[in-house]
Structure 1
Amino acid sequence: MAEPGEQLPEEVLAVIFSYLSLRDRAAVARVCRAWAAAATCSTVWHHTDISCSSEGESMLPPYLLPGLDHIHNLRLEFEPSREPSRREATMLLIALAGRTCGLQGLHLQCRGEKPFFDAGRDVLDAVHAICRTARTLRHLNLRRLPFTLDDTLVLQVARGCPELRSLFLDNDTLVGSVRPGSVLQLLEACPRLCALGLHLASLSPTALEALAAPDRAPLERLALRCACRDDARAPPLPNAAWAVLRRRHPGLAVELELEPALSTESVERVLQPAMPVAELRLCLSGDTIGPVCFAALHYATTLRVLEVRATASTGLDAALEELAEHCAGLREVHCFCVVRPSVLQAFRAHCPRLRSYTLKLTREPHPWRPTFVK
């Protein structure tokens, strides 16, 4: 530790200041010139997490604006139902779009209550501005935005972000507005894309063929959310197309989330034997036992995470025990209904890589917390 009167080197101060919140950075920048220089250097801003409250313009004083030029990866959290928080986030995104060309990663995350249906246009317009100016953008994660994402945004990303590596649009919305044609244009414009998250209705057999093209970068992750009526009506993705995609990208992991909007018939169309499903989340209003049994039969070598929200039954218990016997590589299982003791015993006995589980033998107050395996 430095003696009284001594000054730590700027590079040491910069590392310390990089762990501070935005407001704390503003506070240390007012201490002295040396601290101000350290608070605005590139090391502090390379990876930045910002949480917007409701204090408006005071969040980012003018003397910290140069720090925006050095942000490579930004995680921005705000409360969309509170207008001051949303305005603060929008102002920051617009300022970022106007000052930087080196942004590589943008992750937007909302907290609190969901806004009204038509809210969020200001935030999405700011994201458009980012995508027009940040030619180096490689990672864009919008899955925690509760707004309707549409073709206009996807086409702007395709035009403005040729270096894109990951894009997640599989957000929690009741309306799917990204058409398969826009996704095809995105794939053509961004050949290095290796991680993609979409609503099922946005993906087509033609897109699977494009993803399997020999000149594309290896596809590592494909997240599919099936949560709205458009997803329920989407045409099936043929098993043959999944087989071709799996051969082309042997390291591909599919994340599949099925929600109550899907009927039992729709679920049967979605689940295909050749899909390399690594994460399966089931929250269905109809049959859940069938999909669990299907996973045990066809995803035994790929399944790593299973989440089930269903009504307790002896049939579901039996299906879970069968899955435990087949899926030795499972790392997480979370079942949000009471199960019999033999279910827990089956997972503990047959899944040596299990890291955490939520398997309650008696009803407990929610929220249920997982148990971590040591």
Structure 2
Amino acid sequence: MVQPAELPEEVLAHIFRHLPLRDRAAAARVCRAWAAAATCSSVWHNTNISCDFEREDMLLPYLSACLDHVHNLRLEFEPSKESSRRAATELLIALAGRSPGLRGLRLECRGEKPFFDAGWDVLDAVHGICQAAHALHHLDLRRLPFTLDDALVLQAARGCPELRSLFLNNGTLVGSIGPGSVLHLLEACPRLSVLGLHLASLSRTALEALAASDRAPFKLLALRCACPEDIRAPPLPNEAWEALRRRHPGLAVELELEPALPAENVTRILQSAVPVATLRLCISGDTVGPVRFAALHYAATLRVLEVRAAASADLDAALELLAARCTRLREVHCFCVVRPSVLQAFLAQCPRLRSYTLKLTREPHPWRPMLVA
């Protein structure tokens, strides 16, 4: 039998890359062979770190020898806990100073939301990353509850010309990113193909810039419509969407509509030319109308539908219509009780369906999706 100390370094590295940070640190103290394997670049290429799970006093000391090897980092922390937020901030600052080869950064907040004005320390550290990591390809800030602003977008435009994807459509209650900053970002990052925004940050000029003949293929536009600025945003013309769709036939649009949106805004946002692939409806007003609109206009593009609404016979009928027309659906999740014919319609008419949440009776929450065999 081969003893652990006799395993080749590449085998040890493959094992260590799946361990949490504290276990990697323990492995590195076993012997020289394990220490070499635990600190080799392949272990750190894709790294997940939780500032709540790891011991704060060993986070940076152990990482100091490995930061240069981190290419893609997923960092979790709890902003309402000072120790967790401080550990995340210190790690980001150290990363900005040590890892110009960083390719991807994804920040995820857990636990309670912080105070309204919290997060400046974390955002300053993200500014530092954008200033130093010139090879950054992917930046995902969707799970940050802090207010993002123009300064951050402009820093990303100046410091990260190689960006391929940028998600700014987070859960903040205030939208502080103006259309001008987004337009500057598009001009500075010609390879950007995936972008997540609040609706108010998008403009007709930006759509026209994306539709330019010299633009690289654009794949995904994720729009969140939730804050007061989104409600006041001017409508985006249907013809601008048509031009964008002709230029990028593979473009997918994700729409997330939150309760703050009045009914008239929903009508302005759901336009026939938008290639909606994912539609999440959590609106306080009429939901039946938007579901029917999706059934009539998004049959060729819709892949995921999520509805949070009160149960009704009209909603059931709209869902059955959608099942009949949007036969390429892969997921449908309705967080209210539906009649059996709704479930039967989706199972019979959507052969590509992979998961669904369609409850026929009331059950305790949270409701779990059902996977299709």
Which band: TM-score by shorter chain? over 0.9
1:129-168 equivalences in 2 (<5 Å) = 129-168=128-167
1:44-63 equivalences in 2 (<5 Å) = 44-53=43-52, 57-60=56-59, 62-63=61-62
Residue equivalent to 2:211: 212
The answer to whether the aligner puts 1:78 opposite 2:77 as a matched pair is yes
**C-alpha displacement at 1:9, in angstroms?**
1.6
Residue equivalent to 2:7: 8
**C-alpha displacement at 1:57, in angstroms?**
4.0
The one-character-per-residue Cα deviations of 1:258-307 (angstroms, maximum 9, x if unpaired) are 01111000000111100000000000010101100000000001000000
TM-score, reference length from structure 2: 0.98
**C-alpha displacement at 1:7, in angstroms?**
1.9
Q: Please tell me whether the aligned partners of residues 26 and 60 of structure 1 are also in contact (alpha carbons under 8 angstroms).
A: no
Task: Read off the aligned partner of 2:316 and give its amino acid letter.
Answer: D
Residue equivalent to 1:41: 40
Alpha-carbon distance in 2 for matches of 1:275, 1:66: 48
* Paired residue secondary structure (1:50): strand
Residue equivalent to 2:346: 347
Alpha-carbon distance in 2 for matches of 1:55, 1:182: 37
Alpha-carbon distance in 1 for matches of 2:237, 2:190: 23
Alpha-carbon distance in 1 for matches of 2:195, 2:78: 25
The number of equivalent residue pairs is 373
* Paired residue secondary structure (2:305): strand
Alpha-carbon distance in 2 for matches of 1:373, 1:139: 32
1:179-328 equivalences in 2 (<5 Å) = 179-328=178-327
Alpha-carbon distance in 1 for matches of 2:158, 2:60: 33
Alpha-carbon distance in 1 for matches of 2:55, 2:363: 42
The one-character-per-residue Cα deviations of 1:179-215 (angstroms, maximum 9, x if unpaired) are 0000000000000000000000000000000011111
Alpha-carbon distance in 1 for matches of 2:30, 2:284: 58
Name the % identity.
Answer: 78
**C-alpha displacement at 1:62, in angstroms?**
2.7
Alpha-carbon distance in 2 for matches of 1:62, 1:11: 24
Q: Please tell me whether the aligned partners of residues 191 and 216 of structure 1 are also in contact (alpha carbons under 8 angstroms).
A: yes
**C-alpha displacement at 1:59, in angstroms?**
3.2
Task: Read off the aligned partner of 1:158 and give its amino acid letter.
Answer: A
Alpha-carbon distance in 1 for matches of 2:230, 2:13: 48
Alpha-carbon distance in 1 for matches of 2:62, 2:295: 58
Q: Structure 2: which 5+ runs fail to align?
A: none
The one-character-per-residue Cα deviations of 1:305-359 (angstroms, maximum 9, x if unpaired) are 0000001111101100000000000010000001111111111111010101100
TM-score, reference length from structure 1: 0.98
Task: Read off the aligned partner of 1:40 and give its amino acid letter.
Answer: T
Pair 151,287 (structure 1): closer, same or farther in 2 beyond 3 Å? same
The answer to whether the aligner puts 1:332 opposite 2:350 as a matched pair is no
* Paired residue secondary structure (1:74): strand
